[in-house]
Amino acid sequence: MTKQKVAIPSFKDMKKEGKKIRMVTAYDYHTAALVDQADIEMILVGDSLAMVMLGYDSTVGVTMEDMIHHIKPVVKGAPNTIIIGDMPFGSYNVSCEQAVINATRLMKEGGCDCIKLEGGLAVADKVEAIVKAGIPVIGHIGLTPQTSSQLGGFKVQGKNIEDAKRIVEEAKALEKAGAFMVVIECVPSAIGKLISGSIGIPTIGIGAGPDCDGQVLVTHDMMGMYGKFTPKFVKKYANLSEIIINAFNQYSEEVQSGSFPDEKYSFGMKEEILKKLY
Ligand code: KIV
């Protein structure tokens, strides 16, 4: 049976029925097309593209133009998967008006189905404004990479009682503001469980334990294609870097030795024409 795009309101039903929601990232047509053939309901065109596609040290430098440039081919490649456009740093913090204008650009110019932005209480007014403009919104709390310097780096969040309570309040504020889902990053599993049981909208964990309503991983991390840093919460399902490097080296040796291209990969010519040629 062909995969069907899940309607956004149905994610709440999946939570109620205890059916886990599966999300991965993609930033190009080819990867999106592969995800579209797998049992994965959602693709996040994350601002993580800064690091895994563009080689930046953080997500801060990504622009609206970068995001739109990468969302478009993903939308083309995965017509049967919900596509989330990530709002880049600085594109929604100034005012509700700025947030609505940029969320609208991701939808109109990129063609995604919904948007994600980082932050809880501080962005609840922006979430409300974007939802009122007719755009489905996903929140993102816990470790928020765009503001990681403010959080003291890429660290587990919510380890003391004040922070733990604040993160739970942020999730509730996002639900109240109209978000239809919330990503929870890098918190103790107990917080993932507490939030998932405290709000009616689905939670998607990334380093937030097994009790979230779904999970997300960065594709380059899970496929072993990004070697700079691997967080504890990443399980590597493949080691594509090794496979690709081995293939490049085999090609290199065969070109050097002359064993590639052999007859199988070369074009022949009719004998009579060949005779005239030499
Ligand atoms: O940008 C991204 O890939 C993300 C995930 C880490 C959730 O926000």
Total-model pTM: 0.96
Q: pLDDT tens across 230-269, in order? A: 899 999 999 999 999 999 999 999 999 999 999 999 999 9
Provide the annotated active-site residues.
185
**How do residues 35-56 score in pLDDT, each as one tens digit?**
999 999 999 999 999 999 999 9
> Which of 67, 218, 219, 229 maximizes ligand 1 atoms within 8 Å of its Cβ, making it the mutation to test the pocket?
218
Residue 278 has pLDDT above 90, yes or no: no
Determine the distance separating the centroid of ligand 1 and the alpha carbon of 96, expressed in angstroms. Answer: 22
Burial code (b: 16+ CB inside 10 Å, e: under 16) for 246-275 equals eeeeeeeeeeeeeeeeeeeeeeeeeeeeee
**Ligand 1: does its nearest atom lie under 6 Å from the Cβ of 46?**
yes
In this structure, whether the domain defined by 10-242 belongs to CATH 3.20.20.60 is answered with yes
What average pLDDT does this structure show over 186-201?
A: 98
Of the candidates 278, 121, 143, 122, the one whose C-alpha atom is nearest the C-alpha of residue 206 is 143
What is the Å distance from ligand 1's center to 124 Cα?
Answer: 19
% of residues, the chain, pLDDT over 70: 100
Q: What was the pLDDT predicted at 80?
A: 98
Q: How far apart are CA 149 and CA 152, in angstroms?
A: 5
What is the atom index within ligand 1 of the atom nearest the CA of 59? Answer: 1
Mean pLDDT of the chain: 96
Residue 149 predicted with pLDDT over 90: no
For the chain, the domains span 10-242
What is the 58 CA–ligand 1 centroid distance (Å)?
12
Which residues make up each annotated binding site? 47-48, 86, 116, 118
pLDDT band, very low/low/confident/very high, at 1 (cuts 50, 70, 90): low
Which residues carry a binding-site annotation for Mg(2+)?
Answer: 47, 86, 118
Please give the distance, rounded to the nearest whole angstrom, from the Cα atom of residue 114 to the centre of ligand 1: 14
Mean pLDDT score, 113-129: 97
Mean pLDDT of 94-103: 98
Atom 2 in ligand 1: residue holding the nearest Cα: 46
Mean pLDDT over residues 20-39, rounded?
98
206 CB under 6 A from ligand 1?
yes
